[in-house]
Structure 1
């Protein structure tokens, strides 16, 4: 993988705005992961129905898709830092209400779902604003490293946040909500302190044309369309992680502890790779590097499918997470650098729809296919399908295949 160490003068943590942004992501990421654990346990303890666990996901998925395009338009019309700050304050208020109602014994299933829905609405507006803010915080040449470092915050939260939330849940869900709320308050404080330069946006009325401008922009840019659609179809087909409980119990013959290790392995691989990418700059053949990383994702899926030993399955999932991180950083940086600043919110919103849809539908596709042909054949089909998608996209998007640098000369 072509790379070179970045000069010390360009160190990410010399940029104070990025430091505030990074710590805010860590705080809100840990808060959200802890919140997710507490909400799931609490609702299941109240109702005892597995269906209600699905309703939690639905309450977050609906606003993330329905509000994505309007949220992207808002991100391009107003100061993005304030949008993120407002979203985090709304989330803090919702978590504070959860804490208060839980500690006073007045919490009900419907109340929890309503507050989770409110958090989903806030996150729908927060995501495109936060994604499109990052290019303004660091110089363009080190944006991929900044994205990798930002991703490391999310991966660290995914690994350690649920464990911390589960540990605190021993003292009761109210304690988890209090700590999660405090973390969101820290994130909001850092976001309020953060300062960065951005040309004031040109205000446009919200019409169908302006709201769907991100879709039109992506259609006119083959490289942007290629990376976003590649992510959609690769994740749709390569959703092996949705079948981990089946592999853990029926194929690897391990218990809940083994399932926990299997779930953590991709995040550990992604975290370590993100830390490596944060110290190295990819300078050439980024298109082929991206395609190779997605192909590596497919091959790791195939190895996991045929593995019958825990250590090999863990190694395959570790590699899967690492390959996915390389692809994600290249895709994310390329989309941001190829998009003008006044369009980044709307393009990020379209990308968010693709990401959310592929994650949800990928799990559904894997589950349905496994029910039809079995977990191992379903995972093999997914890995082979990912390799086929890579081959097709290399043929259909030749400019992306030949792309040398993330930021092409004007």
Structure 2
């Protein structure tokens, strides 16, 4: 019972509990929306992979261009209000697309336009949401709350596509899109119901929260640069399972989409277990924890490329998913708990940019390697490069890492501050 209570400790905080319930519904429906959107694009384009790639590019380009500015807004203004406005905007966009689909007048360029607008709003919403977690729970519970966030994300990642497949078959794409539009209200209501007086806000917000100041702050902090660099390398060469898993199922094991689903579920189950495992963390992880989990991930991904059977691949992918999520959580906690609250929005914006920005380029590289050498070589290369980068980081890590920054002390001092409800 004590272990269970410790695992879900951050849910004892009312504001965070509201946030998780709203996010669980919203993120599940967002995954449903992803499946519905991709299905619609394939229907309209005659199963064109180029059209599908264009939608991804349109959605991702604003994230690359505007995420750092989104972090600036998160540091400068009330994160709670930004989240409410962002989710209302996301809901309005989904509503517009859903009505277009139901009217039967939607065209491919409408979806591209929607994807671009969605990416623009997400470039502000993502760094705000990530940095807002610390305001809801404080420093001590931040690792637990971050792990719970990863847990609900992975639950949604498993449930959303499965439900979407059933609903699309029965109701078609339009109702699924509209359901996603409605789900954003869950986040809006949950955030609106929070008690601002119970938030752990910094004593003061910077009057000029410039992006360049945030970058200078990070440059002076090698203990932040190191995990960010590792995230960039592993995201580039290692975290490309959305491409390698279907190829592994089809070209190596010569099976159907059911096997692809099994491989994906194995990776997701391992990630979910790691998310729950990291709920026990109570402080800022050391550089050794970050690099050690990166080493484990690299080794396991490389070994996965040697899997002789589907069953062994599923087992290795579960272990790989565990190491992947454990590393992602450790690097997130090290960066977030080590940054000053006044810079945290901009710091996490850069972290998000690096984490997401490496994905498209990594997909291109992985696709080329898989096409010319086979998907197993893509797994070997991704794993070995990740392992090598982690080994270099292990040697380069400061001998006396800063496991507590001045920002953490200022955050603790800011706790008694109470802001009026407005």
* Deviates most, 232-241 or 292-301: 232-241
| Alignment partner, residue 250 of structure 1 | 251
| Alignment partner, residue 143 of structure 1 | 142
The CA distance in 1 between the partners of 2:84 and 2:35, in whole Å, is 24
In the TM superposition, residue 395 of structure 1 has moved relative to its aligned partner by 1.2
In the TM superposition, residue 86 of structure 1 has moved relative to its aligned partner by 0.9
| Alignment partner, residue 100 of structure 1 | 99
TM-score normalised by the chain length of structure 2: 0.89
Cα distance 1:406–1:143, how it changes in 2: closer, same or farther (>3 A)?
farther
In the TM superposition, residue 282 of structure 1 has moved relative to its aligned partner by 5.3
* Deviates most, 332-341 or 369-378: 369-378
Please point out which of 35, 39, 42 is paired with 1:41. Answer: 39
SS at structure 1 position matched to 2:141? helix
In the TM superposition, residue 297 of structure 1 has moved relative to its aligned partner by 0.8
Cα distance 1:46–1:230, how it changes in 2: closer, same or farther (>3 A)?
same
- After TM superposition, the structure 1 = structure 2 runs for residues 28-107 of structure 1, keeping only pairs within 5 Å, are 28-48=26-46, 49-107=48-106
In the TM superposition, residue 139 of structure 1 has moved relative to its aligned partner by 3.1
The CA distance in 2 between the partners of 1:404 and 1:90, in whole Å, is 38
Please point out which of 190, 205, 218 is paired with 1:202. Answer: 205
| CA distances 1:66-107 after superposition (whole Å, capped 9, x unpaired) | 011111111111001111111111110011111211112222
Once superposed, which parts of structure 1, at least 4 consecutive aligned residues long, lie more than 6 Å away? 403-410
Please point out which of 20, 23, 26 is paired with 1:22. Answer: 20
CA contact (8 A) 1:240 1:301 kept: no
The CA distance in 1 between the partners of 2:269 and 2:375, in whole Å, is 24
* Deviates most, 213-222 or 76-85: 213-222
1:179 aligns with 2:179: yes
SS at structure 2 position matched to 1:254? coil
The CA distance in 2 between the partners of 1:359 and 1:195, in whole Å, is 37
Q: Structure 1, unaligned stretches of length 5 or more?
A: none
CA contact (8 A) 1:337 1:407 kept: no
In the TM superposition, residue 245 of structure 1 has moved relative to its aligned partner by 2.3
Q: CA RMSD in A?
A: 2.4
| Alignment partner, residue 317 of structure 1 | 317
Cα distance 1:290–1:408, how it changes in 2: closer, same or farther (>3 A)?
farther
Cα distance 1:237–1:283, how it changes in 2: closer, same or farther (>3 A)?
same
The CA distance in 2 between the partners of 1:136 and 1:284, in whole Å, is 16
The CA distance in 1 between the partners of 2:10 and 2:291, in whole Å, is 27
CA contact (8 A) 1:330 1:406 kept: no
| Alignment partner, residue 394 of structure 1 | 394
CA contact (8 A) 1:251 1:308 kept: no
| CA distances 1:240-286 after superposition (whole Å, capped 9, x unpaired) | 512222211222222111011112221111112212322x1256973
The CA distance in 2 between the partners of 1:366 and 1:127, in whole Å, is 26
Cα distance 1:88–1:392, how it changes in 2: closer, same or farther (>3 A)?
same
